[in-house]
Amino acid sequence: MRIGVLCSGGDSPGMNAAIRGAVLRGVEVHGFEMVGFMDGWRGFHDGDTVPLDRLAVRGISPLGGVMLGTSRVPPFPDGVATPEALAAVRARMTELGIDAFLLIGGNGTQTVAQMLDDAGIPVVGVPKTIDNDLGGTDYTFGFDTAVSVAAEAIDRLRTTGESHRRCMVLEVMGRDAGWIALHAGMAGGAQLILLPEFPESVEQICEWVLSVRDRGRSSLVVVAEGFRPAGEADVVTRAGLDGFGRPRLGGVAEVLAPRIEERTGIETRATVLGHVQRGGSPTAFDRVLATRTGIAAADAANDGAWGTMAGLHGDRVELVPLEEAVGALKTVPAARYEEARLSFG
Amino acid sequence: MRIGVLCSGGDSPGMNAAIRGAVLRGVEVHGFEMVGFMDGWRGFHDGDTVPLDRLAVRGISPLGGVMLGTSRVPPFPDGVATPEALAAVRARMTELGIDAFLLIGGNGTQTVAQMLDDAGIPVVGVPKTIDNDLGGTDYTFGFDTAVSVAAEAIDRLRTTGESHRRCMVLEVMGRDAGWIALHAGMAGGAQLILLPEFPESVEQICEWVLSVRDRGRSSLVVVAEGFRPAGEADVVTRAGLDGFGRPRLGGVAEVLAPRIEERTGIETRATVLGHVQRGGSPTAFDRVLATRTGIAAADAANDGAWGTMAGLHGDRVELVPLEEAVGALKTVPAARYEEARLSFG
Amino acid sequence: MRIGVLCSGGDSPGMNAAIRGAVLRGVEVHGFEMVGFMDGWRGFHDGDTVPLDRLAVRGISPLGGVMLGTSRVPPFPDGVATPEALAAVRARMTELGIDAFLLIGGNGTQTVAQMLDDAGIPVVGVPKTIDNDLGGTDYTFGFDTAVSVAAEAIDRLRTTGESHRRCMVLEVMGRDAGWIALHAGMAGGAQLILLPEFPESVEQICEWVLSVRDRGRSSLVVVAEGFRPAGEADVVTRAGLDGFGRPRLGGVAEVLAPRIEERTGIETRATVLGHVQRGGSPTAFDRVLATRTGIAAADAANDGAWGTMAGLHGDRVELVPLEEAVGALKTVPAARYEEARLSFG
Amino acid sequence: MRIGVLCSGGDSPGMNAAIRGAVLRGVEVHGFEMVGFMDGWRGFHDGDTVPLDRLAVRGISPLGGVMLGTSRVPPFPDGVATPEALAAVRARMTELGIDAFLLIGGNGTQTVAQMLDDAGIPVVGVPKTIDNDLGGTDYTFGFDTAVSVAAEAIDRLRTTGESHRRCMVLEVMGRDAGWIALHAGMAGGAQLILLPEFPESVEQICEWVLSVRDRGRSSLVVVAEGFRPAGEADVVTRAGLDGFGRPRLGGVAEVLAPRIEERTGIETRATVLGHVQRGGSPTAFDRVLATRTGIAAADAANDGAWGTMAGLHGDRVELVPLEEAVGALKTVPAARYEEARLSFG
């Protein structure tokens, strides 16, 4: 069997470890032939491939980014799986001698995986997103690294905030789901955590900041990029459009900081952490999760368990049907937010 | 309600975060009065206590060690819960005005928790061990930090090993269970992982090291301190006796290295990582897990859910009966070892 | 002798280590009495002091920020050392029983130190700025930490840039001197380093980015916040005014990125690293430098070497007259920029 | 001109950055042809070479170890530069088309460099040793990384020590010179620093440990591997012989710990940090120093400044005659030890 591997969407620390796990297991144990497509579907369309064997994946687990590159190039014209588009995919598979796909990606990519599976094209999914907003798995690799980077930033910002008696606002990634903000905020002991799922008014935020000051402390506010103040969903930030033509979200910290300063009289500074959250060497947790996920995906291919995705459940990596993973985003439940807010607010 | 908090056994990064979580939730939300005993049961016996309130736990999450100190002093004379010993505990509780215990510790401590619960003394357990060998929870806090430290050591040793074409043997903690070695070895891409659960002969180990050399690489061997070569369970290392009078295990790497060198002719070096694995600032993962576990323990006390322990199951922290946690150690199952060995051996 | 210690200006990792070094040496070896002023000159004006002894500085070396707080409150009304202002300082010193000052700060603070010295008030300076733009010393503590944080950000951003074939622009601190950008860029292997001292046109920058692309690589551009494109010194960024009423410089990366993207057609992303550079635990280098500087300042006070500052020269910490330190900023010389540009451009 | 590059002796973080600096400067700016010898003089003897150009050194600065490998194979039979041995070197140079050497190494390697220079063979030295015991330069690259790793270990061990009220003994590298112990101990706030240069009796050590206990603290003792208790220079440790047939020094911590425990009654634990100090990604400081040193060496070759070594003096990298670098080891002067001991003892 000859399996094509590709990564699609934003990068996520652990992608190299996942590829390595899949290749060592697939090639050395199951006897597959494996090839990688460069830059996601771009490499598939252009026939830009690299052979994946033991040598190709040597020593790549600790490396950030992904050896194959990634892109947002869609598999189908206009992103729609028309019969013609699927026929074109099949023709290209024959041309390249590919029997099955191993697709590493987030919600968008696993939705594509399901479309291919629906059309009878053999595919296995490997979940990947720093945002942790994918169903069917407790955590996605990349998330722990992003949380670690954000928590370290909190540790650093806090000391500056307390030395200067300032309110520090840190913006972390999270367009629709606030997992990074929730975990990093809890790890760093943030006084305030603001999530896309739970809008709060600027007035309420300022009240909290003042009550923290009254306890003799400086506020460290962690805000997910997708948070919008209650009643101000259309607030405009400095960011432009992203690769999908959607308004980019970055910059809400820069909107909040001056408003907090003005209303509370407390000097306030914004930091937008940005891309440093999604690059660089993965944490040990993410390397292990990614490696095990890659291994499980190779085993799934060997067992013909097409249409599944390898997910973490407790301390086990298990296959779940793709439909469990895609569809609704996994957002932060109210109980988790209350847990954080009640205890630390 | 007045709750006494203590830590017992070896230290584990995250203990401060767990105390903070329990105190912020217990005092601020549930209205408990909470006190800490210094140095575990020593503080209970001596009445050496500190009040635990918001101020006392301020900013302690990122700190290693534990603000209360810890020790291996037993709660009962000779460690046996005789009626007299239990009566003494009850008398002391009355004297100190303590209604219930929150016990932070590993297998030994949770066994004590169960003894107290059996005797009708209100107690909630918080699991803690870097070894991850406790039942009733997917992971214990401290484990992720230990794995991270060990994985970083592998990253460092590997470059020296490859520059000098040496075999590097790294010994990590794990007396009876090889979890740290398994995860750190997988994260670091070790060529060989040796666990207490799966003895291998020196001959077999050397064959593997030679086959790695034949592939043009230098071996990085991770060995848990409790590993003993097959058929040599009584091998003597340099370590003496531990606090319980049991032979200390440290030093097996120093036994293996010269034997590998002699048999393979490959220059081999041993490193015993030791106590750096169990100290220092916890990872973000461990801080979150510890904080949530502390919160859940405070909630358990509020609900009168005595005789339980707060465990991680998937992404939820849930209460389990203490008997699920104690008793048999959670060791590495064969499937996990095979997964690592087959893919990377 | 009773010595008053204060920190002024922006915070810089290592301030706690410097205070600890000065106090352990001053109190334990020379027998001084030492007190700290909270929040810089604010604490002096308000008589807000803390005793500084062995216990007060216990364990503070690894901590970021500064135990005394810092502020930009000036010592003199309007910042001018009029005879009245100096008389007021002397009166306050008498009131507080202070014989001499130990002033920890950057250019502004050491200029104040010199004013006090000129007026015959005993003062010793301890240099501190992450920007490394102070004369009289090879390096200032805080700089190495800032460079480390920035270099780690480059390591992280590079992997994302290469996975997506993007140009990544990282903005680091450096209003007038580009030392952080120079060192972090060299450490991280940046393709382009843009410094305030050496304006380059956007056209030239884009040519370099394209030539990097033609070599098959993705550009990592490090830009100091004070850099302005040649001929565009008045370019407007999103930042407002700083604590001195001067326009804040932050945001030049966000001005450059879209212009690079537009002109080269290469997807380009900006990251403004911000305050994480100046907070958090100092590197070992900065802790040693700060500790030794603090010790040397205590020795200077003991020797009556007023009007001096403790500077690093090679591997020795030596006293220099304050006038060597202040006045002209230490900027990056052309040879250092050429070294970086010619070799890596 | 065709220049041969080799690394000899133990590895030291920064070697890759030094090679990259020399190659980018030498090949791209000066137009040299450059080749690397694999595994030090072994590659020279065997003609095992790799071409060194921009592509070969791409992205290697952050990597630990060294891309060329290193070994302790001597250039001359028996290490003696006899006329025959030198003639053989010249013959081999002609055979390989090598005009000059760039030798990266410590004391031993630079001594060889001087022998070659004395014989009229063109050679430039690049200093490298984690031990920092080489003359002619303020610091050698690798030292800052080793100190950072050791200081982080202290941060971790301290929390365990204080939680358990134990004395922790950390052994770091340093056979003849205690620089790593001195700097790491100062950075970590060690209570005791023991250096090869300044023997202290076990009795004196125990007195210090007890006085620390009397102040309510737990001792963190940093000991360089080459330290021997006063009057016990021949104390036997567990370590065997090194690559030169000299007794290895490792293990003095394990000799000291039980003796401290026995004499003071304070539970004491030893950690031997070992090879993790010399591997892994270099600090930003070491990357910059190594890069600049490599650049300076390429410039020296271009200027025909043979017989020199590139050293750091303040913030400048300058050439010094090889004889300044070799000969006497640079050890810790008494003033530096007193500075540390008096202040912190």
Give per-residue pLDDT as tens, B176-231.
Answer: 999 999 999 999 999 999 999 999 999 999 999 999 999 999 999 999 999 999 98
Q: Are A222 and A188 in contact (CB under 8 A)?
A: yes
Chain A CA closest to residue B344: A24
C241 min Cα distance to partner chain A (Å)? 11
Cβ–Cβ contact B327 with A under 8 A = no
Number of residues that make up chain C: 345
pLDDT, one tens digit per residue, over B61-99 is 999 999 999 988 999 988 889 999 999 999 999 999 999
**Confidence tier at A84 by pLDDT (50, 70, 90):** very high
**Confidence tier at D232 by pLDDT (50, 70, 90):** confident
pLDDT for res C77? 86
Q: What span, in angstroms and rounded, lies between the C-alpha atoms of D8 and D126?
A: 11
**Confidence tier at C186 by pLDDT (50, 70, 90):** very high
pLDDT for res C243? 46
Q: Helices marked H in A192-251 — which ranges?
A: 202-214
Chain C CA closest to residue D145: C284
Question: Of B11, B39, B117, B131, which residue is the catalytic one?
Answer: B131
**Confidence tier at D235 by pLDDT (50, 70, 90):** confident
Please, is A280 exposed, middle or buried when counting C-beta atoms within 10 Å of its C-beta (0-12, 13-18, 19+)? buried
Confidence check: pLDDT of D176 > 90? yes
Close Cβ partners of D46 (under 8 Å, ≥ 6 residues apart): none
A29, A189, A314 ranked by CB distance to B342: nearest: A29
Selection from A183, C185, D14 nearest residue B288 by Cα:
A183
Cβ–Cβ contact A189 with C under 8 A = no
Chain C CA closest to residue D149: C284
Q: Residues of chain C with pLDDT > 70: what percent?
A: 95
Q: Mean pLDDT, to the nearest integer, of B325-338?
A: 92
Q: Helices marked H in chain C — which ranges?
A: 15-23, 41-46, 83-96, 107-118, 143-164, 179-188, 202-214, 252-264, 284-302, 322-325, 334-344
Q: Which two tokens stand for residue C34?
A: 């030492």
Question: Of D131, D133, D144, D299, which residue is the catalytic one?
Answer: D131
**Confidence tier at B243 by pLDDT (50, 70, 90):** very low
Question: Which chains are adjacent to chain C, needing at least 3 Cβ pairs under 8 Å?
Answer: A, D
Residue identified by tokens 């052994």 is: D171
pLDDT for res B251? 85
pLDDT for res A243? 46
SS3 content of chain D, % helix, strand, coil (to 5): 45, 20, 40
Q: Mean pLDDT, to the nearest integer, of A159-186?
A: 95
Q: Are D7 and D113 in contact (CB under 8 A)?
A: no
Q: What is the DSSP letter of C217?
A: -
pLDDT for res A235? 73
**Confidence tier at A327 by pLDDT (50, 70, 90):** confident
Please, is C230 exposed, middle or buried when counting C-beta atoms within 10 Å of its C-beta (0-12, 13-18, 19+)? middle
**Cα B46–B49–B51 angle (5° rounding)?**
170
Question: Which chains are adjacent to chain D, needing at least 3 Cβ pairs under 8 Å?
Answer: B, C
Walk across the sheet containing B308-313 and list its strands: B49-51, B33-37, B2-7, B100-105, B123-127, B308-313, B316-321
Cβ–Cβ gap A148/B291 under 8 Å: no
What is the average pLDDT value for chain D, to the nearest integer? Answer: 93
**Confidence tier at C343 by pLDDT (50, 70, 90):** low
- Kindly list the residues from chain B whose CB atom is less than 8 angstroms away from the CB atom of residue A144: 284-285
Size of interface C-D (CB pairs under 8 A): 107
**Confidence tier at D233 by pLDDT (50, 70, 90):** confident
A207 min Cα distance to partner chain C (Å)? 24
C25, C150, C215 ranked by CB distance to D343: nearest: C25
Cβ–Cβ contact C163 with D under 8 A = no
What is the average pLDDT value for chain C, to the nearest integer? Answer: 93
Strands (E), chain D: 2-7, 33-37, 49-51, 100-105, 123-127, 167-172, 192-194, 220-224, 268-272, 308-313, 316-321
B149, B165, B271 ranked by CB distance to D69: nearest: B165
- Kindly list the residues from chain D whose CB atom is less than 8 angstroms away from the CB atom of residue C59: 189
Tell whether C216 is in a known binding site.
no
Q: Are strands A33-37 and A2-7 parallel, antiparallel or unpaired?
A: parallel
pLDDT, one tens digit per residue, over C225-243 is 999 999 887 776 766 554 4
- Mark residue D13 as left, alpha or beta (left: phi above 0; alpha: psi -120 to 50; beta: remaining): beta
Confidence check: pLDDT of C248 > 90? no
Cβ–Cβ gap A157/C65 under 8 Å: no
Which of B286-300, C162-176, D228-242 comes out lowest in average pLDDT? Answer: D228-242
pLDDT for res C32? 98
Which amino acids of C are annotated catalytic?
131
Cβ–Cβ gap C285/D155 under 8 Å: no
Tell whether C108 is in a known binding site.
yes
pLDDT, one tens digit per residue, over A194-247 is 999 999 999 999 999 999 999 999 999 999 999 999 988 777 676 655 444 545
Cβ–Cβ contact A216 with B under 8 A = no
Q: What span, in angstroms and rounded, lies between the C-alpha atoms of A44 and A39?
A: 9
**Confidence tier at D341 by pLDDT (50, 70, 90):** confident
- Kindly list the residues from chain B whose CB atom is less than 8 angstroms away from the CB atom of residue A291: 186-187
pLDDT for res A228? 93
pLDDT, one tens digit per residue, over B282-309 is 999 999 999 999 999 999 999 999 999 9
Cβ–Cβ contact B73 with D under 8 A = no
Q: How far is CA A42 from CA A74, A121, B172, C297, in A?
A: 8, 19, 44, 62
Q: What span, in angstroms and rounded, lies between the C-alpha atoms of C129 and C176?
A: 13
Please, is A131 exposed, middle or buried when counting C-beta atoms within 10 Å of its C-beta (0-12, 13-18, 19+)? buried
C70, C254, C279 ranked by CB distance to A238: nearest: C254
Q: Mean pLDDT, to the nearest integer, of C202-230?
A: 95
pLDDT, one tens digit per residue, over C8-67 is 998 899 999 999 999 999 999 999 999 999 999 999 999 999 999 999 999 999 999 999
C164 min Cα distance to partner chain A (Å)? 6
Q: What span, in angstroms and rounded, lies between the C-alpha atoms of D275 and B272?
A: 10
Q: Mean pLDDT, to the nearest integer, of A89-111?
A: 96
Q: Mean pLDDT, to the nearest integer, of C266-270?
A: 95
- Kindly list the residues from chain C whose CB atom is less than 8 angstroms away from the CB atom of residue D28: 343
D332 min Cα distance to partner chain B (Å)? 26
pLDDT for res B78? 83
Cβ–Cβ gap D69/B163 under 8 Å: yes
Q: Which two tokens stand for residue B233?
A: 């369970």
- Kindly list the residues from chain B whose CB atom is less than 8 angstroms away from the CB atom of residue D165: 39, 69, 71
D129 min Cα distance to partner chain B (Å)? 14
* Cβ density class A14-46: b for 16+ within 10 Å, e for less: bbbbbbbbbbbbbbbeeebebbbbbbbbbbbbe
C65, C240, C258 ranked by CB distance to A163: nearest: C65
- Kindly list the residues from chain C whose CB atom is less than 8 angstroms away from the CB atom of residue D127: none
Residue identified by tokens 């948070």 is: A227
Q: How far is CA D219 from CA B13, B69, C84, D155, in A?
A: 20, 15, 51, 13
Q: Which of A57, A157, A211, A288 to mutate to test binding with chain B, by most B CBs within 10 Å of its CB?
A: A288
